[in-house]
Structure 1
Amino acid sequence: MSDLRGGTVGETSPTDAKAVAPRHRASAGGARTGRRRARKKAPSRGKRILRTAAMGLSVLILATAGAGWWFYQHLNGNLHTVSLTDGAGGAGKETPDAFGRTPINILVMGSDGRNLEADCKLGGGCAKTGVQSGGNADVQMVVHISADRSNATMMSIPRDTLVDIPACTDQETGASTPGYHGMINGALAYGPACQVATVHQLTGIPIDHFVQLGFSGVVTMSDAVGGVGVCVSSDVYDTYSHLKLSRGEHTLKGEAALQFVRSRHGFGDGSDLGRTYSQHIFLSSMLRKFKSAGTLTNPAAVYRLADAATKALTVDTGLGTVKKLVSLAADVARVPTDRITFTTMQTVPDPDDENRVVLADAAKSLFATIVADQSLTGDAGEKQAKNTASPTPSATATASPAPASGIAVDVRNGTTTPGRASAIGAALVEAGFASGGTTGNAAGTTDTTTLSYGAGRLAEAQTVADALGLPSSHLERGGTGLTLVIGGDWTSGTSYPGSGASPEPADTASAAAGAHARTADTSGTCAEVSPYKTVEINGVPMTPAQAYRAAGDKADSDG
């Protein structure tokens, strides 16, 4: 007899036996029954694959989450934190704008201390003392990020500036001072908080945070981004920092990057002022590298950068977690490079010591623009701040006014409030602007209102901004016509909120005069090699270019 599967009863193969056996299960009493039981249908091959994939995905998610948590904890463990006010005076407090937003001011310090074995190896000077504590803040830069995150100013403070150091005590080392008059970089010997208090006392700028890194930090950071592009105007050999480069463009990594940012005898007049200018070129290039898609979308590059940064940094307790540093980095990333202005605090020679400088009166205007949260990037001048030796034109300067009747504006709603574009568009027409503009929704929501303008249409954009009460910091070059995108900072009314509530300070042309202003989007600018005899070989004074030729047997820094 054949069963329903085509086999013959009593002549089963081993495979058939496995299939038949489950039909003859023992009953509760131990007797077998011939009754078939309905078998549960086996899952299809497709379902089995999906089930296996789901299990694998679950394991992957758990593993990734575990790795992410480990990475987060690892980075937090890298950070060294110090209280902003430990043993020092106050650092001031920011004033919120009309919307309750506050700017951010950070003091970035580069220390010459030999606090790690790697610093000793790079900087030397540890043969007798070994690893040391403390050090001088040979690089000091106040980084100001505007309240609306649309612009930033980075102001260098020359290390040779003579100032009054306040009374300070370093809570970690116990080093203290009742206060004295001396070089500003020396305040770091009494702790980072003392350096912060000194800068605040000098400038009146509130300092919210500080970030400090040493020699090895510069090396690891430049390596983490794959090198930083720089250019030098001539052959240069600084026999003090050991920087040796041929004329033209170079990509610097590791120790070569450190030699470049440390070089003061290779550039300018051989003073610390020339060094700040070359550092701006280096930092501008690094910022552009940070923002490049290849750097921040590559997981391996991000890991190297995050690991290197957190190991290299000492920060205040307010920035003492990776989450807070990431938030700060996001604020910086929001600012376009053409809206980031590098400046150097204006100084004049000290009448009692030609090797030292003191604060110039012009610096007070520069400090005032930062305190008032005013951009130094001049839209009206089409970013003439790119000219390294030219003062930045006023951000409030206006081109010849354009009549409203000939201006059509496209308005887009970037808020979650319906009808905003139509309301502003109608208000513009009622104010005398042309009716040819369109209204509609933006591609997505945005926090900040912007007015973009095409080439040759700056005057028209200023006319629109004046009519709406929109600050000049909200204007940006882009597109072909005029497009107003309403952001979350303007959810009601037809005049920009807070317009006219607080007048802007003195024009930024005077604030940036002599400040060597340049924007971070400037590429191809070469650091000016000193034409003076600022270095020497075997006791013979010579220019850095002469030293380069005389040291033909010494390898270039990027060799």
Structure 2
Amino acid sequence: MGDSWDGGSVRQTTRGRSAAPPRPRRADDSGPARPPRGGRAAARQAPQSQGRRSGRRPKPAARRKRLGRIALFTVSALILVVAGTGTWLWQHLNGNIHSVSIDDGANGKEKADAFGRTPINILVIGSDGRNNAADCRLGGGCGSASSTAGRNADVEMVVHVSADRSNATVMSVPRDTMTHVPACKDPDSGQSTPGYYGQINSALQYGPACQVTTVHQLTGVPIDHFVMLDFSGVVKMSDAVGGVSVCVSDNVYDTYSHLKLAKGPHTLKGEAALEFVRSRHGFGDGSDLGRTVSQHLFLSAMIRNFKSAGTLANPTKVYSLADAATKALTVDTGLGSVGKLIGLATALDKIPSKRMTFTTMQTAPDPSNADRVVVGSGAKSLFASIANDQSLSSGSDKKTASATPSATATAPASQIAVRVENGTTTRGRASVVASALIA
């Protein structure tokens, strides 16, 4: 017996025996035959069973296949969109970075340790230039052409990251330090000098490379990278990390930087952050030496924000921070890409906060000018410690101890740096005590 599906009617033929008498046709029997007994459920099952017997794939399987193809195409499209967006963001961030070459061999090379690892030495520069409208507004004093000409290094910090990435030292070089500035030429402005004796911060007028070389010659510390921010850059960075937390022991009012803080804790953002790092008359004895302490407090607080989970775990904050940093920073070509800056950030992130030491180069009064300083007698020992990758922080790290050859050493008293801080309410006591100790 053969079965066939023909528009929903079933016809049966027999051979060798009498067939059952046909059913009388109704007036509308010219259309499809009435389904066999069993009702609508049987009618629905009949085509399904016929389809299985004839080898056809059930309709649900075909529908699943179509849905699978749609899902595949959708995921592929999403991958392309995400990849395209990521590439655009990467190129956008790279395009923000302004880099300057300093790799001329004049700034020395770091010494590798017993395992071939090398330290990282970076000069952080804070420029006081009023070379654009934003910096002119923030810095003030833009009434004449001479006030907007050139720039000086308001902030100079040598950041030393140890070869094993277990500790770091941040050493400030006071901007009022008198030293020999070498022969330099700024490739951007074309301004040049045959060399002179003057304030160390003035070397920036001849370009960042000149400032790096001047600090290297003064300290003997190899410097292969620099990072420079201007006034607006400090504002952008402080906003990007959500503000920087500080606490002052007394009311502060600096009529020069316009910093005004009540006694107690504060979260500094925008212009208030800039006023804090620029303040000289609000802290200490009103000199540049007092300002380095507040700059250390500000930088250490900003580093803690960088390393906090609230910043690094939030994609929006991370992008906002990266966008602000790449727009705010001028760097050397060795750091002139997002990938290289990420590598530096990764190295810094490995260092525990408690093993970051902030210090200031020892100074002595300049015999020729009471408003200037010269390198102090203990500074050479500090320079040697940094150049030789010796940690100034306390504490130890088990990983570092196991990876470093065991050795003991005793440093002579003349090579031990002592930092004096004012714990009283009388201004200038730290300088007086420090001078007495040196004497």
Task: Give the TM-score band, short-chain normalised.
Answer: 0.7 to 0.9
2:353 corresponds to 1:337 = yes
Query: C-alpha distance in 2, partners of 1:216/1:105?
Result: 25
2:211 corresponds to 1:211 = no
Structure 2 match to 1:65: 83
Query: C-alpha distance in 2, partners of 1:370/1:57?
Result: 53
Query: C-alpha distance in 1, partners of 2:155/2:165?
Result: 25
CA deviation map 1:94-128 (0-9, x unaligned):
11111111000000000000132211111122233
2:95 corresponds to 1:77 = yes
2:292 corresponds to 1:271 = no
One-letter amino acid matched to 1:10: G
- In the TM superposition, 1:246-261 aligns within 5 A as 246-261=262-277
Query: C-alpha distance in 1, partners of 2:332/2:99?
Result: 5
**2:246 equivalent among 224, 230, 242:** 230
Deviation at 1:507, TM superposition (A): 6.0
- Extract unaligned runs of 5+ from structure 2: 11-28, 35-46, 48-52, 429-439
Structure 2 match to 1:327: 343
Deviation at 1:309, TM superposition (A): 0.4
Structure 2 match to 1:511: 416
Query: C-alpha distance in 1, partners of 2:293/2:64?
Result: 65
Structure 1 match to 2:183: 167
2:56 corresponds to 1:56 = no
Moved more, 330-339 or 506-515: 506-515
Query: C-alpha distance in 1, partners of 2:398/2:30?
Result: 87
Distance 1:108 1:6, change over 3 A: farther
Query: C-alpha distance in 2, partners of 1:177/1:12?
Result: 107
Query: C-alpha distance in 1, partners of 2:174/2:315?
Result: 37
Query: C-alpha distance in 2, partners of 1:10/1:152?
Result: 93
C-alpha contact (below 8 Å) 1:3/1:9 kept by paired residues: no
Secondary structure of 1:357's partner? strand
Distance 1:50 1:252, change over 3 A: farther
Deviation at 1:152, TM superposition (A): 0.4
2:31 corresponds to 1:10 = yes
CA deviation map 1:120-152 (0-9, x unaligned):
111122233399463000100000000011110
Structure 2 match to 1:362: 378
TM-score, normalisation: structure 2: 0.81
CA deviation map 1:364-394 (0-9, x unaligned):
11111111101101228xxxxxxxxxxxxxx
TM-score, normalisation: structure 1: 0.65
Secondary structure of 2:331's partner? strand
2:359 corresponds to 1:371 = no
- In the TM superposition, 1:461-480 aligns within 5 A as 474=400
Distance 1:10 1:67, change over 3 A: same
One-letter amino acid matched to 1:514: R
C-alpha contact (below 8 Å) 1:269/1:530 kept by paired residues: no
- Extract unaligned runs of 5+ from structure 1: 14-22, 24-35, 381-449, 453-473, 476-485, 490-495, 517-525, 533-559
**2:398 equivalent among 447, 451, 455:** 451
One-letter amino acid matched to 1:298: N
Deviation at 1:57, TM superposition (A): 2.3
One-letter amino acid matched to 2:293: Y
Distance 1:72 1:376, change over 3 A: same
Identity over aligned residues, as a percent?
A: 61
Distance 1:529 1:66, change over 3 A: farther
**1:353 equivalent among 366, 369, 387:** 369
**2:155 equivalent among 123, 139, 148:** 139
One-letter amino acid matched to 1:286: M
Query: C-alpha distance in 1, partners of 2:372/2:424?
Result: 22
Distance 1:9 1:371, change over 3 A: farther
Superposition RMSD on alpha carbons, in Å?
3.2
CA deviation map 1:390-439 (0-9, x unaligned):
xxxxxxxxxxxxxxxxxxxxxxxxxxxxxxxxxxxxxxxxxxxxxxxxxx
Query: C-alpha distance in 1, partners of 2:262/2:174?
Result: 27
Query: C-alpha distance in 1, partners of 2:310/2:414?
Result: 36
Structure 2 match to 1:540: none
Secondary structure of 2:398's partner? strand
Query: C-alpha distance in 1, partners of 2:148/2:182?
Result: 24
2:253 corresponds to 1:241 = no
C-alpha contact (below 8 Å) 1:217/1:313 kept by paired residues: yes
Structure 1 match to 2:116: 100
Secondary structure of 1:182's partner? strand
Distance 1:210 1:527, change over 3 A: farther
C-alpha contact (below 8 Å) 2:355/2:395 kept by paired residues: no
One-letter amino acid matched to 1:167: A
Per residue, is there more helix in 1 or in 2? Answer: 2
Distance 1:12 1:68, change over 3 A: farther
C-alpha contact (below 8 Å) 2:307/2:349 kept by paired residues: yes
Moved more, 61-70 or 209-218: 61-70
Query: C-alpha distance in 2, partners of 1:58/1:130?
Result: 59
C-alpha contact (below 8 Å) 1:146/1:152 kept by paired residues: yes
C-alpha contact (below 8 Å) 2:241/2:305 kept by paired residues: yes
Distance 1:217 1:283, change over 3 A: same
Query: C-alpha distance in 2, partners of 1:241/1:529?
Result: 22
Deviation at 1:64, TM superposition (A): 1.2
Deviation at 1:48, TM superposition (A): 5.0
Deviation at 1:10, TM superposition (A): 3.4
Query: C-alpha distance in 1, partners of 2:146/2:201?
Result: 22
CA deviation map 1:274-317 (0-9, x unaligned):
11001111111111111110101111101110000011111111
